[in-house]
Amino acid sequence: MAIEICVKAAVGAPDVLGDCPFCQRVLLTLEEKKVSYKTHLISFDNKPEWFLEVNPDGKVPLIKFDDEKWVSDSDVIVGILEEKFPEPSLSTPPEFASVGSKIFPKFVAFLKSKDANDGSEQALLDELKALDEHLKKNGPYVNGEKISAVDLSLGPKLYHLEVALGHFKKWTVPESLADVHNYTKLLFARESFAKTKAPKEEYVIAGWAPKVNA
């Protein structure tokens, strides 16, 4: 089966894989399932005509299987991949599917916050503590010993959190959240993760800079 995928190119480096956590989630799924694919890097400063023709809203990730239509939205894409390539299974039990799902919006709110007393830091800490407690009981991954779709969604977001908050706010996840630290180490050490993340932290920082300085 021929698979083509459009993902974000790095800011200022159109030939380098960019920093989109939703693109990375799909690439991680393909890598973990050992599926071969062809990548198109899409520069957001200069989106190609053909890309906008098949995808007028200009969003990534975008995927195509054989001669079927292009499909967008990482949730939808990951669902299709699980259906088409059931082995190894990455499905997450429904009761664990939303674990950590509020971390990313809380991270973005804290990152963009200009007021130290607006509660955004505490809101993020509360979500990280909830993840830590879940991992303490069920870890090392969200669904125990085996990596699943929820981890592949969370991993890229936690990477962004670590790089962007470290750079813009000199903030790190508290050491007391040992299970979260262990979890990120496990995820970031995977071959699939190294292969699909933006190759330099600067690309992640460049991606967030306009939102932080807005």
Location of structure tokens 């050992």: 34
Residue 121 CA to residue 118 CA, distance in Å, equals 8
Work out whether the CA dihedral 154, 22, 190, 64 comes out positive or negative: positive
Location of structure tokens 């939808």: 76
Active-site residue, 6 included: no
- Residue pair 90/152 in contact (Cβ under 8 Å)? The answer is yes
- For the chain, the helix, strand and coil percentages under 3-state DSSP, each to the nearest 5: 50, 10, 35
User: From residue 140, how far is each of 16, 28, 56, 95 by CA, in Å?
Assistant: 32, 18, 41, 17
Location of structure tokens 């990596």: 147
Catalytic residue, candidates 5, 20, 30, 161: 20
Q: Mind spelling out the 3-state secondary structure of 10-78?
A: ECCEEEEECCCHHHHHHHHHHHHCCCCCEEEEECCCCCCHHHHHHCCCCCCCEEEECCCCCEECHHHHH
Helix (H) / strand (E) element for 96: namely none
Task: Just list the catalytic residues.
Answer: 20
